[in-house]
Structure 1
């Protein structure tokens, strides 16, 4: 029994360490000029702040937001932007697209980005998400051939239990992505 516990402990530490470059320190991109800034769900205030800050700095005059209308009360800043109230962050004639992807997953968001890019003639996007999601989201966006994609970390502070949750959640998401090849 003791050997089993030691083995399980060693395995847990190995898994945690192996996840550091993928979940804790993923490769991110510096914000640059892009055709659209895309906030993938959930559109937390931190993600919206990053996206609107980028827009104010002139990185893009187009914004996409992944928002389930039933969750508008949970994400009031995103709901305001989707209702047309983005203040001075974007020009009055900005393109703002808000949608609930189908399926409501990163894969659905990548498909919606691909469709919007084709419809709008866009070639580049900055995708804003939280740290442990960056690597998997990049992989899925690239599979959907969405054009030139920059992954931007929202810098959201995460509680220790939420890191544990995301290690498990993102790992399951990777497993699903490997089973469901393609876009």
Structure 2
């Protein structure tokens, strides 16, 4: 190894150390910016204007989401109502008993052409998006409004826009969401981590 080669190797090692040092310094800044952005989207999500669509989708659990979706459906905003539900989990531990009854009444009723109930294979928002994507293609729909909780709007839009076919117009709206300060803190932390997971799921 000649002197010039040795010099270049040392210089490259120095540049690598500088890059690592800068990366270590920037990582907390990037993490802070990420946390503040996601937290803002959790607390104050952005929704598009509510207009007539092919289907209104209620994500599980239906504690607050299903009544809002049902209201949209019955107002004539959409002829079709899509409900994500888990029959084995309808109890006070998941939804309020009276709203569990509402889910059961809708999804256990005789087949109605305008109501579609499904249980996703994956128990997650991504699993729900996959199921809705299949239904949208089967029914030849072009637009959906997805109803979820306020803290869940940003991640839901992120997942649905990347999972449904590109030509489908997706709007995500928030059902009335009442949480304690502790509840909001919990969901802010969860949504920050879950959004990272969603990026890899929909990559």
Whole-Å separation in 2 of the counterparts to 1:16 and 1:172: 9
Structure 1 pair 20–127 and aligned structure 2 pair: CA distance change class (3 A): same
Count of matched residue pairs: 164
What does 1:67-106 align with in structure 2 at a 5 Å threshold? 67-73=85-91, 74=95, 75-84=100-109, 94-106=113-125
Q: How far does residue 111 in structure 1 lie from its aligned partner after superposition?
A: 0.6
What does 1:105-116 align with in structure 2 at a 5 Å threshold? 105-116=124-135
TM-score (norm 2): 0.73
| Counterpart contact for 2:146–2:173, Cα < 8 Å | yes
Give structure 1 stretches of 5+ with no counterpart.
Answer: 1-12, 86-91
TM-score (norm 1): 0.81
CA-based RMSD = 2.3
| Counterpart contact for 2:163–2:202, Cα < 8 Å | no
Whole-Å separation in 2 of the counterparts to 1:94 and 1:30: 27
Residue 52 (structure 1) aligned with residue 77 (structure 2): no
- Based on CA coordinates, which of the two structures has the bigger radius of gyration? 2
Which residue is 2:80 aligned to? 62
Residue 124 (structure 1) aligned with residue 143 (structure 2): yes
Which residue is 1:171 aligned to? 192
Q: How far does residue 14 in structure 1 lie from its aligned partner after superposition?
A: 7.7
Describe the superposition over 1:139-171 as per-residue Cα deviations: whole angstroms up to 9, x where unpaired: 000111341111111022112111111112111
Range 137-146 or range 69-78, more displaced: 69-78
| Counterpart contact for 1:63–1:96, Cα < 8 Å | yes
Give structure 2 stretches of 5+ with no counterpart.
Answer: 1-31
- Runs of 4+ with deviation above 2 angstroms: 13-21, 72-76, 178-182
- Quick check: which one's helix share is greater? 2
